[in-house]
Structure 1
Amino acid sequence: MNKDSARRYSTRLVLGAFAVGVMLSAPFAWGQGQKVLKFIPQADLRILDPITTTAYITRNHGYMIYDTLFATDAKFQVQPQMVDKYELSSDKLIYTFTLRDGLKFHDGTPVRSADCIASIDRWSKRDALGQKMAESTESWKAVDDKTFTLKLKKPFPLALEALAKPSSNVPFIMPERIAKTDASTNITEPIGSGPFKFVKEEWVPGSKVVYVKNTDYVLIKEAGYKGEKIVIISATDQPIVHSQSLLTAEMLRKLGLNVDLQAGDWGTLITRRTSKEPVDKGG
């Protein structure tokens, strides 16, 4: 596994945890020996499809249950996520992607090339950057269940950045049968391959959203995490941001990350987020 796995995963999960309201029902969770984390989100989750809406609450929900082909690391560099390796032809017109071993959707089915192609196709019909990439795309083709290609009409320098797009709309990967849903029609079956499973039968709009841990998801340490410190700055003078930081830190710690939660004010948070210095030097 790529040595940047931990950093890119932690960046991705921070985005997913940021402002997400996780409300696990005690009977369901405790029955599996899991801890219960309850949180009141900044908005009500009413739309489950992260492709038909740009609402942040739905984007955050997407990061809980879906995964992406690429993501950005702590230095905002694009790194493989679901992709194990990729190659670009010398003329910069053909990308060849190979998926990691062991990727599974929450229904137990393996993640295939066809799922990725259908998901990117649906996303590209709604997202502005996806639409620009589609204009330069000649075809997507499955070589086998784990390998697929993107053939371009002309070089598109932002191809990987598009596939690693961190905010709405995010190119989340869904099963092909779900991704075949019209891009303007909300999906009704929220199944992904991400770190948490959505318990739809316990979802009560305006009241609670329930997620449980996906035990098939590859853990950080198994993906090559070496215990690097992840710094989260909490703006204690901003109650909403502070509560979101506490939630993020708790979720990352439960996944085995070495989290350093540091208190500060809003000005400190903005200054350090825009700094190019490493975290041990005030960045």
Structure 2
Amino acid sequence: MSSTRRFMLASTLGAALVLAAAPALAQGSASTFRLVPSSDLKVLDPVWTTAVVTRNHGYMIYDTLFGTDAKGHIQPQMVESHTVSSDGKTWTFKLRSGLAFHDGQPVTAEDVLASLARWAKRDPMGQRMYAALEKADAVSASSFRLVFSEPYGVVLESLGKPSSLVPFIMPKRIAETPADKQIAEHIGSGPYMFKADEFRPGERAVYLKNPKYVPRAEAPSGTTGGKTVKVDRVEWVVLRDAQTQVNALVNGEVDMLESVPFEHYTSLKANNRITTAAAAGGQYLLRFNHLVPPFNDVRVRHAAMLAMNQDALLRTQVGIPELYKTCMSVYPCGSPLASKKSLAFTDKPQFAKARELLKEAGYKGQPVVLLHATDNTTLAKLPPVVAQLLRQGGFTVDMKSMDWGSVVARRAKKDPAEQGGWNAFVTYWGTEDALNPVNYAPLSANGEAGWFGWASDERMEQLRASFARASNEAQRKQLAEDIQVRAYEIGAFAPMGELLRPVAYRKGVVSGVLVGTTNVYWNISKP
């Protein structure tokens, strides 16, 4: 690294970071891949938090029984084969040979069962599956069995879900850690090994190639297929400032940006030394508080939905047409369960209809408290536009600006808006979290036990339970569409369109990047 570049990095990040990173950067090994993650890795337990960066860390060092391919279909990963009894209640799984943890111990059925039991205590999809489970036991060292009280249709979707929370497999002794306590060891059976002695929160995380990992023979796709590691070492270098991230990539100090700031996308795309690609996708939505006025009235929720203008919202927040699209499906457009049924709601505003509904509901102009996270760059530009659209639809809006941490804290309050509560907030969900209605939290309608906003609708919960029990694709497709229609009927939330989050990496230096909805870092080569 030139002295000029080292000075530029030091001036932005401070001498402490340069000193911490210098030994790794000085190695100059072509088999070291350096990545700037989308955020700082603070929590290492992927079952304890839904943070995307912790999920990505999980994929580095752990493996999964099943995964989700690039087309949204479930495929085997650690599992070699499985069978289902004729009554649909008993599922038996056999692990593929050669699976071993980083400490050299073989992966056994007991490890799998302990890992699943801990995961199911924290993950909503796991909780639902285990509530239907009658028994889980080991058949042999390499096979296990799940026995349900009645046929359960989303077993594979539960075991192969690509995101929050992923059922990663850990050694039994680690998986027996209470679910409300973070694990102390970080040993998996995945393609990389975590270098705990080099972990510096706020600075870097280091992973080494697992030389004993045996990848599957299939081509990699999504979180499935052959996890072939072609570099010896991966370093996650934490750089918080967007301009510093871009400078580090262009100057060759790092090899890849996991998430390109939208304002720098065009310049990086035009740089002939950089490759950009639209990778992880997601959905924006406006969530209502169903507990308190005025959104405790479905007519008022419908009025707000009618006021939304997806193109205006996406144009303001993302600004790059190739990175966003309007979409009225509650599941990602183009995914297996996507549907165009949205009743009378469209991606364009219908202000006159919105005002008619407000009049019918007896809305008297009381302020709607809209939360605005000013420091969340993925969301920050949306609330002011939402506020303006709501005003055009007949609402009085009181937008409260604060940092994202304060939004997270305030949205958990169930008090009336005028007493420190809230009425609506804007949020973002990754595509991988919205692939089915059992996993997608905004579709929950179990009242105060559910997700923030606390929608309550018995019919919705019945439909979601039916989806979980459904045994064939046609039935699930129909139920998913019924759930979408019901979500619109009850005004669960207002969909605000979809976006792609671009990645960028050094052209001619990095190859084999797997572009998809989930960030994974196997298959990558450096010459």
Q: Does 1:244 align with 2:298?
A: no
1:223 to 181, 206, 217: 217
Determine helix, strand or coil for the equivalent of 2:75.
strand
* C-alpha deviation, 1:274, in angstroms: 4.0
Contact 1:129–1:162 (Cα < 8 Å) also in 2: yes
- Structure 1 equivalent of residue 322 of structure 2: 268
Pairing of 1:1-283 with structure 2 (within 5 A): 26=24, 35-219=31-215, 223-225=217-219, 243-244=257-258, 267-270=321-324, 274-275=333-334
* C-alpha deviation, 1:42, in angstroms: 2.2
Q: Distance in 1 between matches of 2:82 and 2:46?
A: 26
Q: Distance in 2 between matches of 1:83 and 1:195?
A: 16
Indicate the structure (1 or 2) with the bigger Cα radius of gyration.
2
Evaluate the alpha carbon distance shift between residue 29 and residue 133 of structure 1 in structure 2; reply closer, same or farther with a 3 A threshold: farther
Q: Distance in 2 between matches of 1:24 and 1:66?
A: 28
Contact 2:41–2:202 (Cα < 8 Å) also in 1: yes
Where in structure 1 are there 5+ consecutive unaligned residues? 1-22, 228-237, 247-260, 278-283
- Structure 2 equivalent of residue 254 of structure 1: none
- The Cα offsets for residues 40-59 of structure 1, whole Å up to 9 and x where unpaired, read as 22221111101111111111
Q: Distance in 1 between matches of 2:30 and 2:276?
A: 27
Evaluate the alpha carbon distance shift between residue 102 and residue 266 of structure 1 in structure 2; reply closer, same or farther with a 3 A threshold: farther
Contact 1:118–1:176 (Cα < 8 Å) also in 2: yes
Q: Distance in 2 between matches of 1:29 and 1:110?
A: 33
* C-alpha deviation, 1:225, in angstroms: 3.3
Q: Which letter does structure 1 place at the counterpart of 2:217?
A: A
* C-alpha deviation, 1:270, in angstroms: 4.6
Contact 1:29–1:35 (Cα < 8 Å) also in 2: no
Q: Distance in 2 between matches of 1:122 and 1:206?
A: 28
Determine helix, strand or coil for the equivalent of 1:209.
strand
TM (normalized to structure 1)?
0.72
> Percent of aligned positions with the same letter in both sequences?
46
Q: CA RMSD in A?
A: 3.1
Where in structure 2 are there 5+ consecutive unaligned residues? 1-20, 222-241, 247-255, 261-274, 279-318, 326-331, 337-527
Contact 1:24–1:37 (Cα < 8 Å) also in 2: no
* C-alpha deviation, 1:268, in angstroms: 3.0
Q: Which letter does structure 1 place at the counterpart of 2:101?
A: F
- The Cα offsets for residues 99-127 of structure 1, whole Å up to 9 and x where unpaired, read as 00100111111110000000000000000
> In the comparison of the two structures, how many residue pairs are matched?
227
- The Cα offsets for residues 45-86 of structure 1, whole Å up to 9 and x where unpaired, read as 111101111111111110111111011122211111100000
